[in-house]
Amino acid sequence: MSNETSSSETTPLRRPETQSPYNVAESGRQTTVNTTHTHGNGNNNNYGDSVEVRLQEGDRDSTQQQQQQTITMDTNKRILCRVGLDILILLCVGFPILLFFLLGDPYKRGFFCDDETLKHPFHDSTVRNWMLYFIGVVIPVGVIVIVEVIISQNKAKQDNGNATSRRYVLMNHDLPDWLIECYKKVGIYAFGAVVSQLTTDIAKYSIGRLRPHFMAVCQPQMPDGTTCDDPINVGKYIQEFECKGVGSSARMLKEMRLSFPSGHSSFTFFAMVYLALYLQARMTWRGSKLLRHLLQFVFIMVAWYTALSRVSDYKHHWSDVLAGSLIGSACALVVANFVSDLFQKPNTKPYLARTVQDMNASTPQGITITSN
């Protein structure tokens, strides 16, 4: 009996007659089978085994791709949820500040007509609002970004392409380390800034202390038509009065009751003290031991000058500036030491979701050595 068989003989892999003898569909995956002249039953068995192995590998690859896609979608969702939650928290803390600015009504406090501390002339601010925003927003954010980029570049040079730090991914794109660090550092700074400002505004609207230029801005008039120039009102505590406000805007008439504490002082002292603490923890350049301390001194002096200008411009009493400076400094110390991770040991738990490779990595198994 001849050992040669024709290609029309059936192979160990069975398939319906309606399908082509060259294609096999299994589990949604199509595998090509080439028929050749075989010799003996042993070759037919080997051929069937190879087809089965190829089908199993196809199913395994499809399952791994589905799992990887599911993990990737879960990773993106976790990152977006974390970012969205952080933004929501900032809005919850910052929204009352907007309400105070738009709808807040400060406490109505009376005065004495012979109070010399309320008779100073109105003076424009030396540190304008745009200067204040530059000091409190542009400078801190710019310094944080520059420092984090330099730290990331130096770390990349030291690793020499063999980075062992945890990677983060969003939409199948790896996020650089400096971007993650800037997000955390700037986010915590923003949280501390709005907390400091909210603390200041609560005190402002609750106390309603009159500014040193109150008389010049308000020009009070009593219900009987008299003013503070009339001798009848000398030494009398005035509670019922109206402001003629000649040359004064509605905003000025509202701001004249918001002297304590100083908002400029609290905001600049928080920004500059926090920035000085940030440099103390993150600036590790060894080129000069005095550069870091010089920058810290400059930043503190910026806050100090801003606070002093509020007194010389007759915007605040000295006690208002002192209280505002203490509030800002205290918030900066609390945020830097207890909210941020500037002076804490590195946390092994990731702040954001990791990459698929990191999440699939197996945990190293321990080795136990026993002796008889």
Residue 21 has pLDDT above 70, yes or no: no
**Res 174: pLDDT:** 75
Distance CA 177, CA 352 (A): 12
Candidates 282, 246, 42; CA nearest to 151 is: 282
| Angle between helical axes of 291-312 and 318-334 (0-180°, round to 10) | 150
**Res 263: pLDDT:** 96
pTM of the model: 0.74
Q: Which of 39, 123, 213, 264 does the annotation list as catalytic?
A: 264
Distance CA 325, CA 190 (A): 18
Torsion of CA 341, 347, 351, 352, to 10 degrees: 150
**Res 165: pLDDT:** 57
**Res 38: pLDDT:** 44
Residue 57 has pLDDT above 70, yes or no: no
**Res 91: pLDDT:** 94
**Res 76: pLDDT:** 72
Convert the pLDDT of each residue in 142-185 to its tens digit: 999 999 999 988 888 877 756 555 566 666 667 788 898 999 99
| 83 burial via Cβ count (<10 Å: 0-12, 13-18, 19+) | middle
Known catalytic residue: 264? yes
Q: In DSSP terms, which residues pair with 354 in a beta bridge?
A: 168
Known catalytic residue: 317? no
The structural domains of the chain, with segments of one domain joined by +, span 1-50, 75-160+167-346
Residue 344 has pLDDT above 60, yes or no: yes
Q: Which of 120, 173, 213, 316 does the annotation list as catalytic?
A: 316
Read off the pLDDT band of 27 (50, 70, 90). Answer: very low
- Cβ neighbours of residue 11 under 8 Å, at least 6 residues apart? 33, 35, 44, 47, 48
Read off the pLDDT band of 82 (50, 70, 90). Answer: confident
- Cβ neighbours of residue 191 under 8 Å, at least 6 residues apart? 89, 90, 93, 335, 339
